[in-house]
Amino acid sequence: PSSSSSASTSSCCSDTRRAIPQRSPSGCAGCGGESGFARGYYGWLLPHTPIDAAISHSASRYGHIHFRQLRALGLSQRAIAARCDAGRLIRVFHEVYAVGHAQTTAIGRADAAVMACGPRAALSHDSAAALHGLRKWPRVPELSSAIQHRRPGIRSHRTRTLTYADVTNRHGIRTTTIPRTLADIASRLTDIELERAIHEARRNRDLPDAQLARLYELCSRAAKVFDSTEAPSRSVFQHRLEAVLE
């Protein structure tokens, strides 16, 4: 019995990065069984400690955490570096880490970009329009802030006119409101494209009358191209079809 127990301990604990299909229900005397280890990132078997649980709990919806948060949890720079070496933290942007695995989706990158630029930054322009479902995601995340941020892989816009009323939270990401977003990208859009974007936002019930009035304040051109008395189209594709037929 003692030799069997020893063999079991050796086989379970000899390689803590070994992928396993299922935890042993009886656990392992050497590593504490299920309470000591948890199925980790990339399918590896990694030690599950209270600090690991705290990191996961503090991470954003998309699995990102800031260096300041890690320090607040009590991790030293050396401990953070060790977790990076082990693959538990993956650097995405300056002082922003993915917990366990890097997000490859556009919305995940956008979340990390906002975190990298600080609490006064918000997703904006084409990235905000994509988050609101009005445009395609750009290749590089775009943000606006009162402070100029220079981060590789992020397109930052410095602005002094971004107010609290122009910022909202959508899908867990701080972003500019639809009126502010449309005003920011209006110069990139033709009249037809701007009209379609407004129609799409109205159709999705994301641009009520009060917000439409705010858009007119920010962008007088919007009032010229959009007929507020016209019923919202069924979809942006209908607008495209109508443009072709015209």
Tens-binned pLDDT, residue by residue, of the chain (246 aa):
444 444 443 333 333 333 333 333 333 333 333 333 333 433 333 456 888 889 999 999 999 999 999 999 999 999 999 999 999 999 999 999 999 888 889 999 999 999 999 999 999 999 999 999 999 999 999 999 988 778 889 999 999 999 999 999 999 999 999 999 999 999 999 999 999 999 999 999 999 999 999 999 999 999 999 987 665 555 555 655 666 666
Identify the CA nearest to 187 among candidates 214, 211, 220: 220
- In degrees, to the nearest 5, what angle opens at C-alpha 208 toward C-alphas 202 and 211? 110
The pTM assigned to this predicted structure is 0.73
Q: Return the pLDDT at 93.
A: 94
Q: Return the pLDDT at 108.
A: 96
Q: Return the pLDDT at 38.
A: 39
Compute the distance between CA of residue 134 and CA of residue 185 in angstroms, rounded to an integer.
11
Q: Return the pLDDT at 45.
A: 38
Q: Return the pLDDT at 150.
A: 81
DSSP 123-182: E-HHHHHHHTTSSPPPSS-EEEESS----TT-EEEE-S---GGGEEEETTEEEE-HHHHH
> Alpha helix locations (H) across the chain?
2-13, 33-36, 50-58, 67-72, 77-85, 106-116, 125-131, 178-185, 191-203, 209-218, 220-225, 236-245
For residue 121, give both structure tokens: 């930054």
Q: Return the pLDDT at 217.
A: 95
